[in-house]
């Protein structure tokens, strides 16, 4: 059989910021947590309903809650033990379910699939298998990033195996030893879609020289942001018919495959722990829903961010990692508001706009505090957001239309292509929450479409 030559995808815009405290590539096995937590309120577009109450005994793979919009979509327990807490928030919205982990754990068993049988399994049967073993919620549908309906057949699927920033688990660590699961996951996605499954690696990836190279259909060139499955989809899709394609990363595909080959809800997960405010650093093999305290000793002046360093969620030391969150970063808490600090030149401040002398030292690894450097300011039309947007949007123009409540014009300007990468917010000298504003506007469109 002729070797497939990967297509080239060149992403011209983006930005790779070098920050201090990147995780090392070593993989350590984390100790078993005493408790695990699942966070229904952090999962977009679902209406969670608890299926357990405090004191219930659960196995690994027991359903903990479901989505009332589609009760077939269930979320399973990542541990066996006893339900310790069911936390309700405002209007009795389900916030968190905590399971106290038993010394000896049992798991719910499902049918095991042979690797060679997956590609010929009828679609309906495969959908049911992925739903029952709790991995359906790992799928994401463009353009809104929602968990797709089991009734929808996607026009295509886009998988990116590389991480979109240096603080997320790196592909060589995530893929190591998981090749069979990855291949099984890709085979399953091939059954689920009516089109093709495209798999990308960055052109510089060492994996292109390994036995896995035969699954790679595209090679990406560009800054690390280009590795995002959503950015890959934007640049590789062939027509508007693919606007509702599914997008996934390496970990998600591995877990799909593992659930089929092993006949269990897959709870193993590689995460990174990093940042200058922690002595823990590196990749950790842990489980879904791991507690923050398992990895980070309390540091008085730290802000813990779960997920991407650019777009992650602030999490407390007593919190848990969410379903999509594979990184924990400890950043210095920025306590002082530095009014108009972006116009005060100096070597110690990170600068995108070259307003600081620091722009002359591009190789320095910066320490990123969480301060916003001053109060809200108006857009000064500097164009920095345009320069970095990896999907070629004009974020400042979309922002204006969103603020003017002109949904039609925002969509005409490509708002739905936004991948929520957060780069526009990051580089904005006026510290406008561009990405959040656009994401909220997109979510509003989705809710209107659904109602
Ligand atoms: S958040 Fe959206 S608009 Fe902003 S840079 Fe990323 S893709 Fe572009
Ligand atoms: S980076 Fe900020 S100030 Fe500059 S154009 Fe974009 S929104 Fe306006």
d(CA 395, ligand 1 centre) in Å = 7
Do 98 and 197 belong to one domain? no
Better pLDDT: 83 or 223: 83
Do 104 and 116 belong to one domain? no
Closest protein CA for atom 8 of ligand 2: 379
Considering the domain boundaries, does residue 194 fall inside one? yes
Considering the domain boundaries, does residue 86 fall inside one? yes
Mean pLDDT (whole number) for 413-440: 94
Considering the domain boundaries, does residue 421 fall inside one? yes
d(CA 312, ligand 2 centre) in Å = 21
Question: 201 in ligand 1 pocket by Cβ < 6 Å?
Answer: no
User: In which band, very low, low, confident or very high, does the pLDDT at 334 lie, cut at 50, 70 and 90?
Assistant: low
Considering the domain boundaries, does residue 377 fall inside one? yes
In the predicted model, is pLDDT for residue 423 greater than 60?
Answer: yes
pLDDT of residue 277: 67
Domain stop point among 233, 262, 291: 262
Do 310 and 389 belong to one domain? no
Rounded CA gap, 100 and 90, in Å?
A: 24
Do 171 and 247 belong to one domain? yes
In the three-class reduction of DSSP (H, G, I as helix; E, B as strand; rest coil), residue 84 is classed as strand
Considering the domain boundaries, does residue 73 fall inside one? yes
User: In which band, very low, low, confident or very high, does the pLDDT at 2 lie, cut at 50, 70 and 90?
Assistant: low
Q: Considering every ligand atom, which ligand is closest to the CA of 388?
A: 1
Considering the domain boundaries, does residue 100 fall inside one? yes
Rounded CA gap, 285 and 289, in Å?
A: 12
State whether the Cα torsion 132-138-142-144 is positive or negative.
positive
Range of the domain at 360: 341-368+372-450
Do 159 and 11 belong to one domain? yes
Question: 355 in ligand 2 pocket by Cβ < 6 Å?
Answer: no
Mutate to test the pocket of ligand 1, among 227, 311, 420, 436 (most ligand atoms within 8 A of CB): 420
Q: Which atom of ligand 2 is least distant from the CA of 384?
A: 1
d(CA 434, ligand 2 centre) in Å = 8
How buried is 432 (Cβ within 10 angstroms: 0-12 exposed, 13-18 middle, 19+ buried)? buried
Do 13 and 139 belong to one domain? yes
Q: Which atom of ligand 1 is least distant from the CA of 385?
A: 5
pLDDT of residue 3: 62
Q: Give the burial string for 383-417 (b: 16+ CB within 10 Å, else e).
A: ebbbebbbbebebbbbbebbeeeeeeebbebbbbb
Tell me: the pLDDT tens digits for 363-418?
Answer: 445 454 454 444 557 899 999 999 999 999 999 999 999 999 999 999 999 999 99
Chain centroid to CA 239? 25
In the predicted model, is pLDDT for residue 131 greater than 90?
Answer: yes
Rounded CA gap, 113 and 129, in Å?
A: 10
Considering the domain boundaries, does residue 26 fall inside one? no
Domain stop point among 262, 283, 312: 262
Number of domains forming the structure of the chain: 3
Domain stop point among 262, 296, 316: 262
Question: 188 in ligand 1 pocket by Cβ < 6 Å?
Answer: no
Closest protein CA for atom 4 of ligand 1: 424
Do 73 and 135 belong to one domain? no
CB 378, CB 423: distance < 8 Å:
no
pLDDT of residue 340: 28
Considering the domain boundaries, does residue 1 fall inside one? no
> Which two tokens mark 69?
């919009």
User: CB count, 10 Å around CB of 381?
Assistant: 10
Return the bridge partners of 330, or none: 304
Do 234 and 353 belong to one domain? no
Do 69 and 182 belong to one domain? no
Q: What share of the chain is helix, strand, coil (3-state, %, to 5)?
A: 30, 20, 50
Do 14 and 58 belong to one domain? no
Mean pLDDT for the chain overall: 88
pLDDT of residue 278: 72
Mutate to test the pocket of ligand 1, among 17, 226, 421 (most ligand atoms within 8 A of CB): 421
Closest to 248 (Cα-Cα) out of 293, 188, 172: 188
User: CB count, 10 Å around CB of 230?
Assistant: 23
In the predicted model, is pLDDT for residue 213 greater than 80?
Answer: yes
- CA dist 273 → 21, 292, 307 (Å): 9, 10, 10
Q: Which atom of ligand 1 is least distant from the CA of 419?
A: 7
Mean pLDDT (whole number) for 45-67: 98
Do 11 and 144 belong to one domain? yes
Closest protein CA for atom 4 of ligand 2: 382
**Lowest mean pLDDT across 22-36, 142-156, 325-339, 427-441:** 325-339
SS (H, E, C) 33-79: CCEEEECHHHCCCCCEEECCCCCCEECECCEEEEECCEEEEEEECCC
Mean pLDDT (whole number) for 333-359: 38
Do 250 and 179 belong to one domain? yes
Question: 94 in ligand 2 pocket by Cβ < 6 Å?
Answer: no
d(CA 123, ligand 2 centre) in Å = 46
């Amino acid at each position: 059989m002729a070797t497939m030559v990967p297509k080239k995808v060149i992403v011209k815009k983006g930005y790779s910021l070098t920050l201090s405290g990147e995780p090392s590539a070593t993989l350590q096995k984390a100790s078993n947590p005493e408790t695990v937590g699942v966070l229904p309120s952090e999962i977009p577009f679902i209406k969670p309903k608890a299926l357990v109450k405090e004191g219930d005994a659960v196995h690994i793979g027991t359903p903990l809650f479901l989505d009332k919009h589609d009760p077939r979509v269930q979320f399973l327990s990542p541990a066996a033990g006893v339900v310790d807490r069911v936390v309700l928030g405002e209007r009795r919205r389900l916030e968190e379910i905590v399971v106290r982990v038993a010394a000896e754990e049992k798991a719910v068993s499902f049918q095991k699939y042979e690797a060679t049988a997956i590609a010929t399994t009828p679609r309906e049967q495969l959908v049911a298998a992925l739903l029952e073993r709790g991995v359906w919620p790992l799928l994401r549908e463009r353009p809104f990033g929602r968990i797709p309906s089991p009734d929808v057949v996607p026009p295509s699927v886009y998988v990116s195996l590389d991480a979109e920033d240096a603080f997320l688990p790196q592909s060589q660590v995530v893929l190591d030893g998981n090749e069979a699961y990855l291949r099984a996951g890709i085979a399953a996605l091939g059954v689920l879609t009516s089109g093709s499954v495209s798999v990308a690696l960055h052109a510089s990836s060492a994996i292109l020289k390994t036995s896995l190279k035969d699954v790679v259909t595209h090679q990406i060139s560009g800054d690390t942001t280009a590795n995002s499955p959503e950015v890959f989809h934007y640049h590789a899709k062939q027509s508007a018919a693919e606007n509702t394609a599914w997008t996934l990363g390496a970990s998600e595909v591995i877990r799909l495959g593992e659930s089929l080959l092993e006949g269990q809800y897959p709870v193993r997960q590689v995460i990174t722990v990093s940042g200058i405010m922690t002595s823990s650093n590196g990749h950790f093999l842990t489980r879904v829903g791991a507690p923050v305290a398992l990895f980070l000793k309390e540091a008085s002046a730290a802000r813990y961010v779960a997920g991407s360093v650019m777009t992650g969620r602030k999490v407390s030391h007593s919190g848990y990692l969410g379903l999509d969150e594979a990184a924990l970063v400890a950043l210095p808490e920025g306590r002082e508001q530095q009014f108009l600090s972006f116009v005060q030149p100096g070597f110690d401040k990170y600068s995108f706009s070259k307003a600081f002398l620091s722009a002359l030292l591009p190789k320095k690894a910066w320490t990123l505090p969480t301060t916003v450097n001053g109060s809200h300011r108006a857009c000064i039309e500097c164009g920095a957001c345009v320069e970095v947007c990896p999907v070629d949007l004009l974020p400042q123009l979309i922002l204006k239309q969103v603020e003017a409540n002109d949904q039609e014009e925002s969509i005409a300007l490509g708002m739905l292509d936004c991948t929520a990468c957060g780069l526009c917010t990051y580089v904005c000298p006026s510290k406008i929450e561009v990405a959040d504003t656009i994401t909220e506007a997109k979510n509003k469109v989705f809710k209107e479409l659904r109602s």
